[in-house]
Structure 1
Amino acid sequence: MQILYAIAGIAIIVYVMKDLITTTLSFQGGGHLTNFISENLWRLCLRLAGHDGKKKMLERVGHMLLVLIILTWVMGMWLGAFLLLLSDPASVLNSTTEEITTASEKLYFAGYTLSTVGNGDYKPGSNLWDIVTNLLAFSGLAFITVSITYIMPVLSAVILQVKLSVFLNSLGNSPQQVLLNCWNGENFDRLLRHDADLADMITEHSQNHKAYPIIHFFHNIEQRQSVVLNLAIFDEAINFLKFGVQEEVRPSDAELLTIRGAQDYYLYVLDRHHKNEEQKPYTFPEMKWDALMEAGIPLKTPLLSDFHSPETFKERREVLTYLLHQDGWSWNDIYRPDPV
């Protein structure tokens, strides 16, 4: 039985440390434990909110997850160290009486060893346990340092996420409005003024998402600050620009290459959240382009009815459909009855 305690303790410590290192230092996403906690807690909260992205309770999920993940690492390391010490009744002794400690005293010893705040009440029972205690103390010090430093880049990534969202929303809060705001009466040169800065922010956000996927769960209930919603709006604006606007007035594919490349990279990174689940068929609300025609934008009128077909921009729209759904939004929030 005692050897099983040792095996279980070592296995838990290794698993938690692997998850910690993968999540904080690999820049390739969260570990299995972190992803399991994040995704399932988010799904639960989203279900409790009725899949309504405007419910205020969803704004606190990201912060709650960050604290919960760190607490899970703490409890996992503590449990692993405790089980390891339980494998030998004499692993920890009372410093004054030299008596063998109880299970509760070993739990206490494991906790203050990992926190590197020893007080001398208890001591390791042999030279072997001296070494084990030192290893646990070093592990605890590394764990505390890495956990604290992990918080800062995550919060920085969340700030950039909000910045990107507000920037996109300033271009327009619907695909139609984006096009109207960028139309100068002759062409869409206004859109190209910001393409380098915008592409840079989208690429940086995508890379942050790849390194720290927990930022996906820092939800905003306001459209202006919802990055998923505003990126979908902007993507649809570029889609329509390429599909439904006459070539002589719209930017060429070469001119859109920078911004389109950043959008493609975003969808590539976020597609990892698309778990290859069976995608429900999606339809678009009725799209109103009257304001674009009134503004004098030359449209490919015969093709407009095909723009909302499920086969048009199929792959990118399937990813966006999933991301919108997982964030509590839908295409009805993109194509509203009052688009301008």
Structure 2
Amino acid sequence: MQLLYAIAGITLILFVLSDLITTTLSFQGGGRMTNFLSEKTWRLCLKMAGNDGKKKMLERVGQMLLVLIILTWVAGMWLGSFLLLLSDPGSVLDSNTEEITTAWEKLYFAGYTLSTMGNGDYKPGSYVWDIVANLLAFSGLAFITISITYIMPVLSAVILQVKLSVFLSSLGNSPQQMLLNCWNGKNFDRLLQHDADLADMIIQHSQNHKAYPIIHYFHSIEQRQAVILNLSIFDETINFLKYGVQEEARPSDADLLTVRGAQDFYLQVLNRHHKNEEQKPYTFPVMNWDALIEAGIPLRMDRLREFQSPEIFKERRETLTYLLYQDGWSWKDIYRPDPV
């Protein structure tokens, strides 16, 4: 039984350290425990909100998850250290009486050793446990330092996420409005004026999402700060430029290469999320292009109806459908009856 305690304790400590290092230092996403905890907590909260991205309770999930993940690491390290100490009745002694400590006293010793704030009431029972206590103290110090420093880049990534979303929203809050705002009467050069800055922000946000996937759960109920919603609107705007606008008025594929490449990278990073079994096959609401026709934008009228077919831009739209669904939004929030 004592050997089992030692094996369980060492296994748990190594598992937590592996999850901590993967989440904070690998820049390749969260560890297994972190990802599991984040996804399950978010889905539970989203379900409680009725899958409605406008519910205010969703705004605090990101902050709550950040604290919950750190507390889970603390609990795992503490429990693992406690189990390791339990493997030997004489692992910890009372400093005054030299008596063997109880389980509760070992739990206390494990906690203050990890926090490096020992008060001398208890001491390791042998030279071997002296080394173990030192290792636990070093691990605790490194763990606390990494956990605190992890918070700062996450918050910086969230700030960039909001900045990107507001920037996109300023171009328009629907594909139709974006097209109108970027139309100068002859072409869409206004859109290309911002393509380098926009592509840079999208790529940086994608890389942040890859390194710190927890930013996905920092949700905003305001459309202008909802990054997934605004990135979907922008992607549909480019889709329509390429498919529904006559060639002489639309930017060439070469002109759109920079921003389209950034969008493709974003979808590639986010595409690792598996499709949810609860997700229904997506359909588009009726798209209203009247304002574009009135503005004199030369459209390919024969393609307007085809554009809302799920077979057009199928792969990227399936990814966006899932992302919208997982964030409490839908295509109805993008293609509204009054888009302008």
- Is this a same-fold pair by TM over 0.5? yes
Partner of 2:190: 190
How far does residue 275 in structure 1 lie from its aligned partner after superposition?
4.0
Query: SS in structure 2 opposite 1:157?
Result: helix
- State the distance in 2 between where 1:39 and 1:278 align: 14
The answer to whether the aligner puts 1:170 opposite 2:170 as a matched pair is yes
Do structure 1's residue 150 and structure 2's residue 150 form an aligned pair? Answer: yes
* Greater shift in the superposed pair: 266-275 or 191-200: 266-275
Alignment of 1:56 onto 2:56: yes
1:130 match: 130
Q: Deviations over 1:105-130 (max 9, x none)?
A: 00000000000001100000000000
Which one-letter code corresponds to 1:281 in the other structure? P
- Note if 1:86 corresponds to 2:124: no
Which residue matches 1:200?
200
- Give the unaligned 5+ runs of structure 2: none
State the partner residue of 1:11: 11
CA shift in 2, pair 1:102/1:278, >3 Å: closer
Contiguous gaps of at least 5 residues in structure 1? none
2:252 aligns to what? 252
Amino acid at match of 1:113: T
Q: Structure 2 CA distance, aligned partners of 1:134 and 1:275?
A: 46
Which structure 2 residues correspond to residues 66-81 of structure 1 after superposition, within 5 A? 66-81=66-81
TM-score between the two structures when normalised by the length of structure 2: 0.99
Pairing 1:109-120 to 2, within 5 Å after superposition: 109-120=109-120
- Contact persistence 2:93–2:123 (CA under 8 A): yes
Q: Contact 2:92/2:123 (CA < 8 Å) preserved in 1?
A: yes
Q: Given residue 220 of structure 2, which amino acid in structure 1 is its aligned partner?
A: N
Question: Percent of aligned pairs with the same residue?
Answer: 82
TM-score (norm 1): 0.99
Letter in structure 1 aligned against 2:151? I
- Match in the other structure for 2:300: 300
Residues 279 and 325 of structure 2 are in contact (CA less than 8 Å); yes or no, is this contact kept in structure 1?
A: no
CA distance in 2, matches of 1:72, 1:275: 27
- Give yes or no for contact 1:162–1:227 (8 Å, CA) kept in 2: yes
Provide the rounded CA distance (Å) in 2 between the counterparts of 1:141 and 1:89. 26
User: How far is the alpha carbon of 1:282 from its aligned partner?
Assistant: 1.1
Paired residue type of 1:254: A
The separation in 1 between residues aligned to 2:192 and 2:223, in whole angstroms, is 24
Separation in structure 2 between the aligned mates of residue 325 and residue 97 of structure 1, nearest angstrom: 62
| Separation (CA, whole Å) in 2 of partners of 1:303 and 1:216 | 35
Q: In the TM superposition, what is the alpha-carbon distance from 1:277 to its structure 2 partner? A: 4.8
